[in-house]
């Protein structure tokens, strides 16, 4: 668990809770800290933040901690916490909301590569209407290579290509990566959803 003591911020507590609740569609006030969600979270131990604690951060108005913690970036959206929660609170939606808020506030992500992957996922999905692994990896790897080039780290680019080629082959063998670029019938609808989200939240 994170060692830091959470701070109650009276001035920001109400507005933070209101924004997160509205954007995520979750009733955070219903959380009575039973921690049933914590026991099932596959990344809680690794990140030092469990779903109940993340909710506590928001309720206390500790915006700094709520927007910059590893659970926000490492939540795998497995929905185990929501399934176990007696109040049907889906923390995956809360982590996604906080991620968007963190990006909108231009905070330095705690794990830049996860942030890059998230951006690549969102861009690829907007383009095809659904995620295609090849398209997503192309965007992600191009961005990573450009960053490494800027810092003159050419060895890292070669290592990355080798690692990703190996990973790609493994995924193809397991039929988890598809060369065919599937797309939804009405891509315009998906693009309209993205536009609406950007207009509404400035993310
Ligand atoms: S299971 Fe639900 S009510 Fe219990 S701590 Fe987790 S989010 Fe709160
Ligand atoms: S959805 Fe996220 S927060 Fe909830 S159990 Fe899965 S990894 Fe943990």
CA 58 to centroid of ligand 2, rounded, Å: 16
Taking the C-alpha atoms of residue 38 and residue 1, their distance in angstroms, rounded to an integer, is 11
- pLDDT at site 32: 97
| Calpha distance 95→184 (Å, rounded) | 26
* Nearest listed ligand to the Cα of residue 56: 1
CA 40 to ligand 2 center in whole angstroms = 8
Q: In whole angstroms, how far apart are CA 141 and each of 121, 149, 195?
A: 12, 12, 25
Give the phi and the psi of residue 8 in degrees, each rounded to 5: -85, 120
Ligand 2 pocket, 156 CB below 6 A? no
Q: What pLDDT is recorded for position 2?
A: 46
CA of 51 to the centre of ligand 2 (A): 7
pLDDT at residue 168 in the model: 84
Architecture of domain 10-104: Orthogonal Bundle (1.10)
Q: Whose CA is closest to atom 1 on ligand 1?
A: 85
Which ligand 2 atom sits nearest the alpha carbon of residue 44?
8
List per-residue pLDDT tens for the chain, 203 residues long: 445 788 788 777 789 999 999 999 999 999 999 999 999 999 999 999 999 999 999 999 999 999 999 999 999 999 999 999 999 999 999 999 999 999 999 998 888 888 999 999 999 999 888 888 888 888 998 888 888 888 888 888 888 888 888 888 898 888 887 777 778 888 899 999 999 888 865 44
Q: Which residues surround ligand 1 with Cβ inside 6 Å?
A: 31-37, 51-52, 55, 84-87, 89
C-alpha 157 – ligand 2 centre gap (Å) = 32
Is residue 78 within 6 Å of ligand 2 at its C-beta? yes
Query: What residue has token string 């506030």?
Result: 105
Q: For the chain, give every domain's residue range.
A: 10-104, 112-201
User: Which ligand has its closest atom nearest to the C-alpha of 92?
Assistant: 2
Q: What sign does the CA torsion over 129, 131, 135, 138 have?
A: positive
Output the 3-class SS for the chain: CCCCCCCCCHHHHHHHHHHHHHHHCCCHHHCCCCCHHHHHCCCHHHHCCCHHHHHHHHHHCCHHHHHCCHHHHHCCCCCHHHHHCCCCCCHHHHHHHHHHHHHHCCCCCCCHHHHHHHHHHHHHHHHHCCCCHHHHHHHHHHHHHHHHHHCCCHHHHHHHHHHHHHHHHHHHHCCCCCCCCCCCCCHHHHHHHHHHHHHHHCC
Question: Which of the ligands is closest to the CA of residue 44?
Answer: 2
pTM to 2 decimals?
Answer: 0.80
Q: What is the pLDDT of residue 203?
A: 46
Question: What whole-number distance in Å separates Cα of residue 189 and Cα of residue 88?
Answer: 29
**pLDDT given for residue 43 in this prediction:** 96
Q: What's residue 3's pLDDT? A: 55
> Kindly report the CA angle at 201 between 70 and 63, in degrees rounded to 5?
40
């Amino acid at each position: 668990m994170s060692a830091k003591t959470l701070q109650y911020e009276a001035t920001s507590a109400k507005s933070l809770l209101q924004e997160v609740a509205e954007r995520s569609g979750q009733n955070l006030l219903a959380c009575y800290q039973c921690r049933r969600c914590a026991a099932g979270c596959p990344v809680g131990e690794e990140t030092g933040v469990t779903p109940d604690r993340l909710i506590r951060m928001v309720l206390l108005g500790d915006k700094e901690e709520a927007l910059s913690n590893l659970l926000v970036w490492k939540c795998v959206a497995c929905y185990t916490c929501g399934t176990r929660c007696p109040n049907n609170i889906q923390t995956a939606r809360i982590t996604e909301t906080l991620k968007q808020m963190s990006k909108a506030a231009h905070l330095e992500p705690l794990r830049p590569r996860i942030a890059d992957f998230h951006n690549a996922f969102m861009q690829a999905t907007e383009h095809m209407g659904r995620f295609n692994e090849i398209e997503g990896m192309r965007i992600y790897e191009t961005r990573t290579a450009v960053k490494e080039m800027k810092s003159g780290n050419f060895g890292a680019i070669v290592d990355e290509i080798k690692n990703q080629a190996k990973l790609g082959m493994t995924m193809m063998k397991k039929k988890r990566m598809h060369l065919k670029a599937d797309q939804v019938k009405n891509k315009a609808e998906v693009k309209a959803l993205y536009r609406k989200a950007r207009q509404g939240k400035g993310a």
